[in-house]
Amino acid sequence: MNVGFIGLGRMGSGMAARILEGGHDLAVYDVMPASTASAAAAGARVASSVADLCLGREVVITMLAEDAAVQAVAFGGGGLRDSLPAGAIHLAMGTYGIATIRALVAAHAAAKQTLVAAPVLGRPDLAASGQLGIVSGGPDEAVARCEPLFKIIGRLTFRAGTEPEAASAIKLANNLVLGCAIQAMGEAFSLVRKYDVMPQVLYDVLTEGLFSAPAYKVYGKIIVDGSYDRAGSTIALNLKDANLIIAAGDIARVPLPSGNTFRDRLLGAIAHGDAGKDVAALALEQARASGLES
């Protein structure tokens, strides 16, 4: 398959490597040219622009962190809408808001292209090993065309529905639950610390009992170790997602009280200089609120 890839950050680089390993013809583009070096060394063609990237591509993947970035790539002069061949697919694999997904659907339909939303679940190490979860939303025929890519990028694909926004809704809801779980762990660890209990004991109780899921093991371990500087998903990136979650709730008229608490804690962490730390550093923000130094 002839594939284009835009956005070679830590997640995107691992995904692009998997596509090359799968034997697909890959062209890559990034606004930071140095980010394309590893893909080029592995055999990808480095495009000089978005328009150049689109030449002869059946599918172009965007893995960009911000809605504004994917909008610029799609709607700007020489962007995806203007440059993708008719019948081609824009495969949006980042986490984007409902309003942005709706705008992309309309723009690509007018240009006789198709949008498939397929946000991924997991951290950068899982991208490199092809173990991401993928949530797909879009027309059945277009999603079927993307299946070979899903199989090499991820371990499991969840079909959300025929509308791309369904996949975004699932991803945002998943991030809401994860964010609230991390927030709750921060509260719990602060509580036991106030009673002079070692955090490792609570971690063992949680992960060897009812909370043995990877989220509690991974983020709980970061909290116990205090290894917040080795960020997989930063506080700042999670604030972006929290804003998208609240916006999705506004569109659907769904109150999200836990989501608002999650967002407020993220804002507090950023105010205390933790924007670049792992999202597990929400536990630091809770510790400060509890009268603990860290």
pLDDT tens per residue across span 69-96? 999 999 999 999 999 999 999 999 999 9
DSSP states of 9-76: SHHHHHHHHHHHHTT-EEEEE-SSGGGGHHHHHTTPEEPSSHHHHHTT-SEEEE--SSHHHHHHHHHS
The structural architecture, per CATH, of the domain 2-162 is 3-Layer(aba) Sandwich (3.40)
In the chain, CATH 3.40.50.720 sits at: 2-162
Q: Beta partners for 166?
A: none
CATH of 169-289, one of 1.10.1040.10, 3.40.50.12710, 3.20.20.10, 3.10.580.10: 1.10.1040.10
Q: Is residue 128 pLDDT above 90, yes or no?
A: no
pTM here is 0.93
Q: What percentage of the chain exceeds 70 in pLDDT?
A: 100
Report which of residues 138 and 10 the model is more confident about.
138
Residue 158, beta-bridge partner list: 135
